[in-house]
Amino acid sequence: MFQAFARSDSSRQRPGLGLGLAVVQRVAERMGGTVGFKRAADGSANIVRMHWPINL
């Protein structure tokens, strides 16, 4: 899901280029963060979790 221009089977009928999560991942990494991806427990949705440290 984080590969540029890759799209899941369920999203192929919708407009878009498949860049969204690839861009999010690269921005998060450059800011010292991480991005994770998993399937919801009931299989109904995909969950993307972003985390980056905040230096106060």
Candidates 47, 31, 28, 50; CA nearest to 39 is 47
How many whole angstroms separate alpha carbon 15 and alpha carbon 11? 8
The reported pTM is 0.58
Half-sphere exposure of residue 3: CA atoms within 13 angstroms, side-chain side: 3
What local confidence, expressed as pLDDT, does residue 9 receive? Answer: 64
- Mark 21-54 as b/e (b = at least 16 C-beta within 10 Å): bbeebeebeeeeeebeeeeeeeeeeeeeeeeeee
Note whether 14 and 7 are within 8 A (CB): no
What local confidence, expressed as pLDDT, does residue 10 receive? Answer: 62
Q: pLDDT (tens digit, 9 = 90+) per residue, 5-43?
A: 666 666 667 666 667 788 888 888 888 999 988 888 898
- Res. 56: pLDDT tops 60: no
